[in-house]
Amino acid sequence: MNQKVLFLLASLFTVSAYAQIGGRSTYQFLNLVNNPRQAALGGKTVTNYDYDPIQGLFNPAAINPKMDNQLSINYNNYIGDVNYGTVAYAYLWDRRTQVIHAGITYINYGNFDGYDEQGNATGEFGGGDVAVSVGHARNIPFTDFHVGANVKLISSKLEQYSSFGVAVDIGLMYHYEEWDLQVTGVARNLGTQITPYDIELEQLPFELIFGASQILNNIPLRWHFTLENMQRWNVAFSNPDRETTDLEGTVTKENINFFDHALRHIIIGVELFPESAFNIRLGYNFRRGEELRIVERRAFAGISAGFGIKLNKLRLSYAYSKYNSAAASSFFGINIDLQ
């Protein structure tokens, strides 16, 4: 594998370290935020149980009859000329079988100049991944619980290396309509590579996510609380850039404690006027904010915001996510009611 491909893989998947969650699996694009609403609420929100079919890509238990004939198209101008997007559609077959859901997630890493081990140019190359999913959910009879599953076929190509895999998402949601309360858990990316990039089969980015959300009584506000990466407790790590050295040359590493690990699992978000034609969304991702903050400089890492507008049968959404002072991302989306 030439140097440029190695650089690409290192940039996308992060160098592996003892406590980090990156660099341990392939197909990391599967866990990227998939629409502006989710991005604005801090990312990985799994508690939306409404018209939006794109939520079914992240939590199949959220697939419901309100998604019937809804089409969602989303595009993200990501970091470093990387672009990705999602498309989802749901169809109500009948009240017995409920809803059939289909979706596509793709990412284009752009074009790169290739070089061999001696530094000789080998020409331009590109890279990209795509996942196609089909999902379905059912209400557990005589309860407020819903269970759903997605099956995903995954294809990836990086320069001359390609891979194929399959994965399943399984979700369980408690939806109490009287209180407008959702409590949910989802196990994502249970699966395997079928065809590896080279010789060795790599792990998929398995993740456990839990969440809850509710509209407050007499207040037009929905809160969202999400716990991400619950399959691994120690997600915090000591950042070498935050080490300090005293006058005697003694190096003190960043102290990581129980509270640091706990906080990095949390994402919070709020939607103002969630059921109106215009709503505002705000979120904060604690792990992103802590890992990407710059010491002694305010960079607003981890903060995200956005809005949604309903125009007849169209819903337009936008989100802006801040990573650090040098990097941010804009997400655009449209929902179309095809009925």
SS (H, E, C) 181-198: EEEEEEEEEEEEEEECCC
235-to-117, 232, 266 alpha-carbon distances in Å: 35, 7, 11
Distance CA 205, CA 38 (A): 19
What's the pLDDT score for residue 97?
Answer: 61
- Looking at this protein, which amino acid is placed at residue 146? H
Span of 84-93, 186-195, 287-296 with lowest mean pLDDT = 287-296
211: pLDDT confidence band, cut at 50, 70 and 90? very high
What's the pLDDT score for residue 19?
Answer: 39
Spatial contact of 106 and 84, defined as CB atoms under 8 Å apart? yes
253: pLDDT confidence band, cut at 50, 70 and 90? confident
Distance CA 128, CA 106 (A): 7
pLDDT tens, residue by residue, 230-245? 998 888 777 766 666 6
What's the pLDDT score for residue 39?
Answer: 94
DSSP 3-state of 204 = coil
Residue 216: exposed, middle, or buried by beta-carbon count in 10 A (0-12, 13-18, 19+)? exposed
227: pLDDT confidence band, cut at 50, 70 and 90? very high
Q: Find, among 38, 41, 42, the residue nearest to 56 by Cα.
A: 38
Q: Find, among 92, 99, 84, the residue nearest to 33 by Cα.
A: 84
298: pLDDT confidence band, cut at 50, 70 and 90? low
Spatial contact of 190 and 208, defined as CB atoms under 8 Å apart? no
pLDDT tens, residue by residue, 177-186? 999 999 999 9
What's the pLDDT score for residue 336?
Answer: 96
Residue 245 tokens read as 């050295």
255: pLDDT confidence band, cut at 50, 70 and 90? confident
Q: How far apart are the first and last CA of the chain?
A: 50
192-to-146, 154, 231, 296 alpha-carbon distances in Å: 26, 10, 17, 43
DSSP 3-state of 80 = helix
Q: Is the pLDDT of residue 160 over 50?
A: yes
Residue holding tokens 């749901």? 90
Residue 261: exposed, middle, or buried by beta-carbon count in 10 A (0-12, 13-18, 19+)? middle
Overall average pLDDT of the 169-193 stretch:
95
- Return the higher-pLDDT residue of 221 and 291: 221
What's the pLDDT score for residue 63?
Answer: 95
- Return the higher-pLDDT residue of 221 and 158: 221
Say which DSSP state 35 is in.
Answer: S
Domains and CATH numbers, the chain: 3-241+249-337 (2.40.160)
Q: Find, among 63, 30, 58, 32, the residue nearest to 46 by Cα.
A: 58
Q: Is the pLDDT of residue 5 over 70?
A: no
Spatial contact of 25 and 77, defined as CB atoms under 8 Å apart? no
Overall average pLDDT of the 44-73 stretch:
94
Q: Is the pLDDT of residue 126 over 70?
A: yes
Residue 329: exposed, middle, or buried by beta-carbon count in 10 A (0-12, 13-18, 19+)? middle
Span of 23-27, 56-60, 133-137, 154-158 with lowest mean pLDDT = 23-27
DSSP 3-state of 13 = helix
pLDDT tens, residue by residue, 63-121? 999 999 999 999 998 887 889 999 999 999 876 667 899 999 999 998 888 888 888 88
Q: Residue 124, CB half-sphere, CA atoms under 13 Å: how many?
A: 4
What average pLDDT does the structure give for the chain? Answer: 86
Q: Kindly give, in sequence order, each residue whose CB lies less than 8 Å from that of residue 227, ignoring residues fewer than 6 positions away.
A: 209, 210, 211, 265, 266, 267
Residue 13 tokens read as 């998947």
What's the pLDDT score for residue 328?
Answer: 83
pTM for the whole thing? 0.85
DSSP letters, 143-168, are SSEEEEEEEEEEEEEETTEEEEEEEE
- Return the higher-pLDDT residue of 12 and 23: 23
